[in-house]
């Protein structure tokens, strides 16, 4: 069940986009609280707009997905400590209309000592992001993208359509579609948004 909470009464900046999530168990239901700014961003997601309703988005599934991504990232870190890292980590990138937002997550491990680690509350922060050239270059090397693939990705990050990318690079639309399929296969994703997310989150 989703619930909104008046964070302004707690002195929290109204413009901050954040989500508080605690997974449930046999003793309590899962909880999701989010700021008005986060709701505005999520209402503009394609998956929400297709519903054609002006209601609060159900973001519990997103939170479950982000929690799994965080768990996977922590496994990759391979920390020997039982405590979760305190620093927020970049776990996903979402597209709201034509804007990209980085999703950073952190675990509030000290909020309740009687919960097991799987039930620790999570805080997700949504920040407007742009393609960071240093990180993008690093991702290009990591995924071994050739020069043409890099050119296509740069235009994709600037929200160009396949037709616009084809015109910019003086290639056919079918050629661009072919490159998109190759990029999806190389990055193990199944959408244009997946390409962006994979490259920006590393």
With a pLDDT cut of 90, the percent of the chain lying above it is: 18
Whether residue 13 is predicted with pLDDT greater than 50 in this model: the reply is no
pTM of the model: 0.59
Comparing 197 with 180, the larger pLDDT belongs to 180
Whether residue 151 is predicted with pLDDT greater than 60 in this model: the reply is yes
Instruction: Give residue 43's pLDDT band: very low, low, confident or very high (50, 70, 90).
Output: confident
Average pLDDT, the chain: 76
Question: Hey, what are 64's tokens?
Answer: 């479950």
Whether residue 128 is predicted with pLDDT greater than 90 in this model: the reply is no
With a pLDDT cut of 70, the percent of the chain lying above it is: 69
All structural domains of the chain: 2-129 (3.30.450), 133-201 (1.10.10.10)
Work out the average pLDDT over 46-68. 69
């Amino acid at each position: 069940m989703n619930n909104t909470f008046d964070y302004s009464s707690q002195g929290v900046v109204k413009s901050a986009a954040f989500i508080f999530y605690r997974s449930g168990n046999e003793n309590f239901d899962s909880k999701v609280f989010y700021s008005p700014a986060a709701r505005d961003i999520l209402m503009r997601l394609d998956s929400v707009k297709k519903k054609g309703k002006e209601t609060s988005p159900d973001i519990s599934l997103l939170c479950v997905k982000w929690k799994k991504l965080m768990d996977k990232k922590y496994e990759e870190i391979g920390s020997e400590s039982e405590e979760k890292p305190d620093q927020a980590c970049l776990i996903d990138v979402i597209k709201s209309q034509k804007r990209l937002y980085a999703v950073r997550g952190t675990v509030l491990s000290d909020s309740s000592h009687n919960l097991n680690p799987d039930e620790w509350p999570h805080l997700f922060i949504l920040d407007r992001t742009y393609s960071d050239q240093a990180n993008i270059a690093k991702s290009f090397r990591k995924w071994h993208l050739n020069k043409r693939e890099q050119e296509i990705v740069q235009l994709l990050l600037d929200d160009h359509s396949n037709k616009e990318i084809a015109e910019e690079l003086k290639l056919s639309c079918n050629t661009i579609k072919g490159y998109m399929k190759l990029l999806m296969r190389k990055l193990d994703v199944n959408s244009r948004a997946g390409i962006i997310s994979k490259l920006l989150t590393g």
